[in-house]
Amino acid sequence: MTIDAYINPDFGRNEKLTFLAMAFFAVILCVLVILGGVKVAVGFKKKDERAVARYDDSHNRVQRFYEMIISATSVMSFSCAYVILNHIYDLMISGKGSIESNGAIVFLYLWENGKDFMLLLLICLSCVLNSLLDKIFIPLKKLKKEEKACVRMLAMFYAIIILMYLNNIGDEDAYNPVMMYYLGLMIGRFVYFDASFADFLSALKNMLKNIYLLILGLLITGILCYIGFSREYLLERNYIIVGIFYTHLFMLTAVFVLHHSHILHLLVRKPAGYDALKNGGEETYDEYDAGDTYGYGEGYEEYDDYSEYDNNEEDEDEEYYPPDGEDDEDDEYDDEDGEYEDEYYEDDEY
3-state secondary structure the chain: CCHHHHCCCCCCHHHHHHHHHHHHHHHHHHHHHHHHHHHHHHCCCCHHHHHHHHHHHHHHHHHHHHHHHHHHHHHHHHHHHHHHHHHHHHHHHCCCCCCCCHHHHHHHHHHHHCHHHHHHHHHHHHHHHHHHHHHHHCCCCCCCHHHHHHHHHHHHHHHHHHHHHHHHHCCHHHHHHHHHHHHHHHHHHHCCCCCCHHHHHHHHHHHHHCHHHHHHHHHHHHHHHHHHHHCCCCCCCCCHHHHHHHHHHHHHHHHHHHHHHCHHHHHCCCCCCHHHHHCCCCCCHHHHHCCCCCCCCCCCCCCCCCHHHHHHHHHHHHHHCCCCCCCCCCEEECCCCCCEEECCCCCCCC
320/112 Cα distance (integer angstroms): 103
pLDDT score of 223 more than 90: yes
Q: What is the pLDDT of residues 111-165, one digit of tens each?
A: 888 888 888 888 889 989 999 999 999 999 999 998 998 999 999 999 999 988 9
Q: Where are the domains of the chain?
A: 3-278
For 29, list phi and psi in degrees, rounded to 5.
-60, -40
How would residue 338 be classed by pLDDT, with cut points 50, 70 and 90? very low
Mean pLDDT of the chain: 79
pTM recorded for the entire structure: 0.76
Question: Residue 2 pLDDT > 70, yes or no?
Answer: no
Q: Vertex 152, ends 148 and 156: CA angle to 5°? A: 170
Is the per-residue pLDDT at 287 higher than 70? no
Does 256 or 49 have the greater pLDDT score?
A: 256
Average pLDDT over residues 64-73: 96
